[in-house]
Amino acid sequence: MSDGERESGWVSWTADSWLDLPPERRASVRRTMIERHRERGPLAAIVQVRVYADGAEPQVSFTGECTLGPDADQGEIAAVVERARVALAGWR
């Protein structure tokens, strides 16, 4: 992944699209994904915003791998949502 790709938000590959990558590129993408997972640490929560023509629907959800859950302190959940808001504000 080039510096430009790293700085411009994110690039995603699905399981199907991995097959379209040459073997050396596939290995490079896999290494990058592993590095990013290590840098980020464990998943705290999933913050989503669905955007419609006439509104938006924010949501926080938790999977088994999340460090927070629905019973977490509301301040901790709010802090995660704020981090997501800041990340989205800087997204290009």
pLDDT tens, residue by residue, 32-72:
888 887 888 999 999 999 999 999 999 999 999 999 999 99
β-bridge partners, 77: none
Q: Rounded to two decimals, what is the model's pTM? A: 0.63
User: Do residue 21 and residue 7 come from a single domain?
Assistant: yes
Q: Is the pLDDT of residue 84 over 60?
A: yes
State the CB neighbour count (10 A cutoff) for residue 46: 15
β-bridge partners, 60: 47
Q: Which domain holds residue 16?
A: 3-40
User: Do residue 85 and residue 52 come from a single domain?
Assistant: yes
How far apart are the C-alpha atoms of 45 and 69, rounded to whole Å?
8
User: Do residue 36 and residue 53 come from a single domain?
Assistant: no
Domain tally for the chain?
Answer: 2
Who's near 66: CB < 8 A, 6+ residues apart? 42, 43, 44, 45, 46
User: Do residue 7 and residue 35 come from a single domain?
Assistant: yes
User: Do residue 36 and residue 51 come from a single domain?
Assistant: no
